[in-house]
């Protein structure tokens, strides 16, 4: 049994490496394997190979241009290099992330911190070019995905400085409706002594607001992001 597991692991490693170096060839091999053995559709290591192939096809133009910093790049900069086809492949890659999470999330945990960073990078690209799409695919989003032009901060002496704000931006959260921009209202501390930021959420980008439309009129709700990595739509009362 152990020898068989090692053999299978070696096969998947070869397919994964091919998906990295020649994603079209890797996907062709996988298509043939799925045709011959349909039950492999639910094989998480194979889906991980598919994820990698789609990822490479999606971000290839940016891999060739390392001066483009995805974390701070805006939509207009990303679209200088990415085609709609590239964005479609990134959507497919994130769809595979969702499938793997449902099949075997341990596979993604093995990918570790680097994997989370790569998922975040793809999500940043897609969200800035197609607002709301990441949440539609993954069922969650992060403020960091929106970019600086879709997250605003209410001027306040108690608000977090940028260097302390960053961890909150990477807290994943779910919300009943699609969120495309946010206004950070305040920094606070709850009854459990957790630090939090309170955010007003909007189902549109700021440039989609109607003339004279206020934040209060446009909001779809409030979210609280806590420094323990959790979120809630309301605060617990002490």
Residues 216-237: tens digit of each pLDDT: 999 999 999 999 999 999 998 7
The whole-angstrom distance between residue 57's C-alpha and the CA centroid of its chain comes to 17
pLDDT in tens, 141-167: 999 999 999 999 987 655 667 777 889
* Sign of the torsion formed by the C-alpha atoms of 202, 204, 205 and 209: negative
* Sign of the torsion formed by the C-alpha atoms of 107, 112, 114 and 120: positive
As a whole number, mean pLDDT of residues 5-31 equals 87
């Amino acid at each position: 049994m152990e020898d068989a597991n090692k053999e299978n692991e070696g096969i998947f490693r070869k397919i994964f490496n091919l998906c990295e170096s020649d994603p079209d060839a890797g996907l062709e091999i996988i298509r043939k394997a799925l045709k011959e053995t349909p039950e492999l559709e639910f094989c998480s290591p194979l889906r991980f190979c598919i994820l990698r192939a789609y990822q490479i096809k999606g971000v290839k133009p940016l891999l060739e241009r390392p001066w483009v910093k995805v974390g701070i790049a805006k939509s207009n900069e990303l679209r200088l290099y990415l085609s709609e086809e590239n964005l479609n492949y990134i959507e497919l890659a994130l769809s595979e992330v969702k499938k793997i999470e449902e099949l075997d999330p341990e596979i993604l945990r093995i990918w570790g911190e680097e994997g989370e960073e790569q998922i975040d990078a793809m999500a940043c690209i897609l969200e800035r070019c197609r607002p709301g799409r990441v949440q539609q695919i993954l069922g969650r989003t992060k403020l960091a995905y929106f970019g600086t032009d879709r997250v605003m901060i209410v001027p306040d002496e108690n608000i977090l400085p940028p260097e302390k704000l960053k961890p909150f931006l990477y807290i994943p959260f779910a919300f009943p409706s699609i969120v495309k921009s946010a206004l950070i209202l305040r920094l606070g501390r709850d009854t459990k002594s957790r630090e939090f930021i309170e955010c007003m959420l909007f189902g549109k980008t700021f440039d989609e607001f109607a003339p004279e439309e206020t934040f209060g009129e446009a909001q779809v709700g409030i979210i609280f992001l806590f420094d323990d990595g959790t979120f809630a739509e309301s605060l617990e009362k002490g």
